[in-house]
A and B are shown apart, each in its own frame.
Chain A
Amino acid sequence: MALSSQLDLYLKLERIMIDLDDRGEPLADRIRDLMDPLWFSLSSEEHEFLNSRGEVDIRLFYPVTLAVVDLYQTPSEPSSPPVQISPVDGVGKRFPLREAFPWAA
């Protein structure tokens, strides 16, 4: 982005303001007041540029990376032949209710 004269002036004043602020000089507030009209004269693109300073997208440096040493395994093979279930009273397999509903009595 090209640096406009207004943005250049804003940044210069900002540096002075921060320096004075660091030293506890009350003059920093006066400089800050001078910066306000300059801020409103800047374009939205320049506002975006100024607002984005100091933001670091950590994902750019540390994308999600998982170390999975056992990702690839031997596919499971059927170990036994299929079992034919013969229904009893119309039901193939019965389980106590509490097997799937742990809170059930």
Chain B
Amino acid sequence: MGSVIIGTNKITNCRTLVSVKGDPLVRVETAPLRLSFRLPQDLPTGVFFEIVENEIIGDRPPELRVVQSSSNVSVLWREMLLLSATLLDETTAHLKIDLRPLGILIFDDHQGLHVGGNVLARSSFTDCMTAISLG
């Protein structure tokens, strides 16, 4: 599964990076680079979409774009970057995440990974089923 660097944290051999109420929200796999993302279906905004291994599944909202190359997969919502996974080497990817445009308080910056009012920084997760679980 490789490693994913996200907001100064390193997540290694974890199947799911973030889950919500037990359902995977974000997954990143390396070699080749694959990004999966599934919104919870009960968002008050009514927005829902699912991306499985870089491909939009089902109805594609017009605001949603997935742009990919061999070393990067980016997901944009209304031209705002939600996710950007970049392959650093064969086993390591970097993930930039900002779900605030969707009303979800998860984003990363130089301080760490912000989950609501919490900041996860310089932590190393290894061999988890889910690195970060919400709910």
Interface size class of B (residues with CB under 8 A): 20 to 34
Q: How many residue pairs bridge A and B at CB < 8 Å? A: 91
Inter-subunit contact A92/B131 (CB<8 Å): yes
A85 touches which of B99, B124, B135 (Cβ 8 Å): B124
A87 and B125 in contact, given A93-B131, A93-B132, A95-B133 (Cβ under 8 angstroms): yes
Q: Is B126 in the interface zone, CB < 8 Å from A?
A: yes
Q: How far is the CA of A93 from the CA of B40 in the complex (A)?
A: 19
Q: Which of B51-59, B75-83, B109-117 contacts A (4 or more CB under 8 A)?
A: B109-117
Q: How far is the CB of A98 from chain B (nearest CB, A)?
A: 7
Q: Is the CB of B110 within 8 A of A95?
A: no
In chain A, positions 62-105 with a C-beta closer than 8 Å to chain B are: 76, 78, 80-85, 87, 90-104
State whether A82 touches B104 (Cβ < 8 A).
no
Report how many residues on chain A are interfacial, defined by Cβ distance under 8 Å. Answer: 24
CB distance from A33 to the nearest CB of B (A): 51
Complex contact A76–B135 (CB within 8 A)? no
Cβ–Cβ < 8 Å partners of A96 in chain B:
134-135
The digit string for B33-56, where 1 denotes a CB below 8 A from any CB of A, is 000000010001000000000000
